[in-house]
Chain A
Amino acid sequence: MTTTGENDPRLEKYRRMQRIRQFEAKAEKIHADGEIPGALHTYAGMEASGVGACMALRDDDYMVGNHRSHGHPIAKGAKLRPLMAELLGKKTGVCSGKGGSMHLSDFSMGSLGETSIVGSGGPVTAGAALGAKLQGLDRVALCFFGDGASSEGAIHEGMNLAAVWSLPAIFVCENNRFGMSTPTSDAVAGENVADRAHGYGIPGVIVDGQDVDAVEAAVREAVDRARAGKGPTLIETKTYRYGDHAVNMGRELTPRGPEHDDWVKRDPITIYRQRLIEAGVTEADLDAIDKTIADEVADALQFARDSEYPVFEEAFDDVFVDRVPIPAEVQAHA
């Protein structure tokens, strides 16, 4: 079997997971060095959830995510340069330096925002699905949200709306077992978030979030259903985040039990790599991919470092279509 083709979807899945892992490893390091301002919420450990879901989407399908925002755009195929530049607060960043780590949203890839107000993406997703439907586009909208976010009214309202109007939406709850310091079991009633689907009369699916193929299969089924006009699905990916709520905070918030090591042993990239090797892909091919991605990340960082910061006047752009007035007394000291 030929395994190294650029278009082999299996390798693309591996590539995207590796891209997330390596991009974030670099980001975490330079954040520790003070090169990235603000907080950094990493996705490491959850790569199969994002990549599996996005592999089931078309480029023109919509996606909404959250504060843990690095994985989603890379999973959907976004280029690394504007993402890294955004982390550094540069003008060439994907959000022109306005959003930063919690908001890596590439609208050219179908993103409608990575929003850092927990749960706030639910209604946006329902609305995008409604907009697609009203315009006769056969696009779907997918919402990534956390187990913690499942407690927000906005998530419930978005799902109910999508269900009652049979909208082409997919709600993916990435259950990584904690919201900041709080174990899911202390904050979320019922055993599974997916069980709530029953209340909306829509399918609720639980999937191994460390298995990229399993996630992809579950989301693909939901996407087919949505495109066929049969309404939304709620999918819960059981997963785990390796890092603390945010990294380099000088203090660990998330309590780690003995199961931490078990989760790390079930690393989504290791599992998938093993599966590819069993299917005949060579170690050398995979190592070559790893190397290519290391180069991509290095290139993205170089690009970001070489880029300019936004100029002060740009702080007044994009409140509205037209720049808002800049008070002279503020401008004088900028």
Chain B
Amino acid sequence: MARITFLEAIMQAQQEEMQRDDKVFIMGEDVRCNVFGTTTGFVDAFGAERVRDTPISENGFIGAAGGAAMVGMRPIVDATISSFLFPAMDQICSIIAKSRYIYGGQAKLPLVIRSCLFYGNSNAAQHSDRPYSMFMNMPGLKIIAPSCASDMKGLLKAAVRSDDPVLSFEDSTCWMAKDEVPEGEHIIPLGKGDIKREGSDVTIIGVAGGVNVALKAAKALEQEGISAEVIDPRTLVPLDRELILQSVRKTGRAICVDPAHMTCSAASEISATIVENAFDALRAPVLRVTTPDTHLPFSPHIEKPLYPSVERIVDAARKVVGTKQTQPA
């Protein structure tokens, strides 16, 4: 075991996969200069052909990654900030997500599109998006959104080896957090969630950085005698519905914590899954703790309170647990 940061986990996953398979290469804006620390020493180790700086043309180079994948390469695209996926929506949604299907299984697109969720630091609306749920609505794209270094590394390695296109959403609130990561071959299969904390009164399902806020809230709730279970789906497509349902069947209550905007968020999908499949087990309404449906402002004083917080989760937990207590026997 080694204690490394989330960013180091990304770096190691990329490094190991590039060493293992020479079809893997990386491209994106300013990857050689290693802006966020995920390509440290890569040009020396792998050469400039496999570590490519691109023009600022997301639709071009993300689409080109799809083309390279179709002919046998396994590109990792570093799209930096997830808001910059929007100019590439055309290639991602019309080509990358659909080529296997539309050509009846003839096309194979093993590529990874990485980008970070860059919110909470006064970067204003055009840089602060958490757009994974928009892509969840597009079949054909697998989506990972890990919350800790260990999961990040294991999932990114699985993503590189996947024969399907994978979008990796990397929450910048997790970047510097350190975590024990197993040495050697560490792969986490796509589609497998994780119980981050066991509990019996309420299930809190966190998405990306929302998991860490949920874990803090669970600690606070413990002081009040409320035992919270925290589930991290880790992969949003495919979603580990069974793990979530098992937990909710046990606790009878669920709160979905998601830094995305509320409407059609990952939290909405998780909530619907619970209501459709575990309604009989529910003792209280399923609640979402998300970012409200407004844009993110620059001014920090009004930006910060918009995201899911420990206080909001604790309130939600009190509400759902209280619902049970006030019910007639």
Q: Is A330 within 8 A of B312, CB to CB?
A: yes
Q: Is A38 within 8 A of B122, CB to CB?
A: yes
Chain A 94-124, CB-CB to B under 8 Å as 1, else 0, gives 0101111011000000000001111110000
Does A30 make an interface contact (CB < 8 A)?
no
Does A201 make an interface contact (CB < 8 A)?
no
A333 with B315: in contact, given A89-B299, A89-B300, A153-B60 (CB under 8 Å)? Answer: yes
Does B305 make an interface contact (CB < 8 A)?
yes
Q: Is B127 within 8 A of A116, CB to CB?
A: yes
A332 with B315: in contact, given A153-B87, A180-B35, A309-B301 (CB under 8 Å)? Answer: yes
Q: B residues within 8 A CB of A333?
A: 305, 309, 311-312, 315
Does A187 make an interface contact (CB < 8 A)?
yes
Q: A residues within 8 A CB of B292?
A: 316, 324, 326-327, 330
Does B17 make an interface contact (CB < 8 A)?
no
Segment among B49-57, B102-110, B197-205 that sits at the interface with chain A: B49-57
Q: A residues within 8 A CB of B86?
A: 117
Residue tally, chain B, CB below 8 Å to A: 44
A324 with B293: in contact, given A39-B123, A116-B127, A151-B60 (CB under 8 Å)? Answer: yes
| Distance, CA A232 to CA B53, complexed state (A) | 32
Does B173 make an interface contact (CB < 8 A)?
no
Q: Chain B's nearest CB lies how many Å from the CB of A119? A: 7
Does A311 make an interface contact (CB < 8 A)?
yes
Q: Is B306 within 8 A of A149, CB to CB?
A: no
Does B295 make an interface contact (CB < 8 A)?
yes
Q: Chain B's nearest CB lies how many Å from the CB of A325? A: 8
Does A264 make an interface contact (CB < 8 A)?
no
Q: B residues within 8 A CB of A38?
A: 121-124, 298
A330 with B87: in contact, given A37-B122, A151-B55, A151-B57 (CB under 8 Å)? Answer: no
Contact of B305 among A89, A153, A182, A312 (CB under 8 A): A312
Q: Is A179 within 8 A of B60, CB to CB?
A: no
| Distance, CA A181 to CA B32, complexed state (A) | 9
Q: Is B294 within 8 A of A319, CB to CB?
A: yes
Q: Is A315 within 8 A of B303, CB to CB?
A: yes
Residue tally, chain A, CB below 8 Å to B: 51
Chain B 111-155, CB-CB to A under 8 Å as 1, else 0, gives 000000000011111110000000000000000000000000000
Q: Is A100 within 8 A of B302, CB to CB?
A: no
Q: Chain B's nearest CB lies how many Å from the CB of A244? A: 11
Q: Is A103 within 8 A of B124, CB to CB?
A: yes
| Distance, CA A85 to CA B316, complexed state (A) | 37
Q: Chain B's nearest CB lies how many Å from the CB of A311? A: 7
Interface centre among B301, B303, B312, B316 (most CB of A within 10 A): B301
Q: A residues within 8 A CB of B54?
A: 187
Q: A residues within 8 A CB of B311?
A: 333
Q: Is B87 within 8 A of A154, CB to CB?
A: yes
| Distance, CA A322 to CA B113, complexed state (A) | 37
Contact of B300 among A37, A103, A319, A334 (CB under 8 A): A37
Q: Is B53 within 8 A of A187, CB to CB?
A: yes
Contact of B53 among A100, A116, A119, A182 (CB under 8 A): A182
Q: Is A330 within 8 A of B29, CB to CB?
A: no
Q: Is B30 within 8 A of A181, CB to CB?
A: yes
Q: Is A329 within 8 A of B316, CB to CB?
A: yes
Contact of A98 among B55, B56, B87, B299 (CB under 8 A): B299
Does A253 make an interface contact (CB < 8 A)?
yes
| Distance, CA A252 to CA B326, complexed state (A) | 59
Q: Chain A's nearest CB lies how many Å from the CB of B120? A: 11
New A-B contacts (10) at CB < 8 Å, excluding given A117-B126, A182-B30, A319-B295 = A97-B299, A102-B126, A116-B124, A117-B87, A151-B55, A151-B56, A153-B59, A181-B53, A310-B302, A315-B303
B positions within 8 Å CB-CB of A: 29-30, 32-33, 35, 53-60, 83-84, 86-87, 121-127, 262, 289, 292-295, 297-303, 305-306, 309, 311-312, 315-316
Q: Which 6 A-B pairs have the closest CB atoms?
A: A100-B298, A89-B299, A151-B55, A97-B299, A38-B122, A37-B122
Between-chain CB contacts (< 8 Å), 17 pairs:
A89-B122, A89-B301, A95-B298, A97-B299, A99-B298, A100-B298, A103-B298, A117-B86, A117-B87, A148-B56, A180-B33, A309-B302, A310-B302, A315-B294, A315-B302, A327-B262, A333-B305
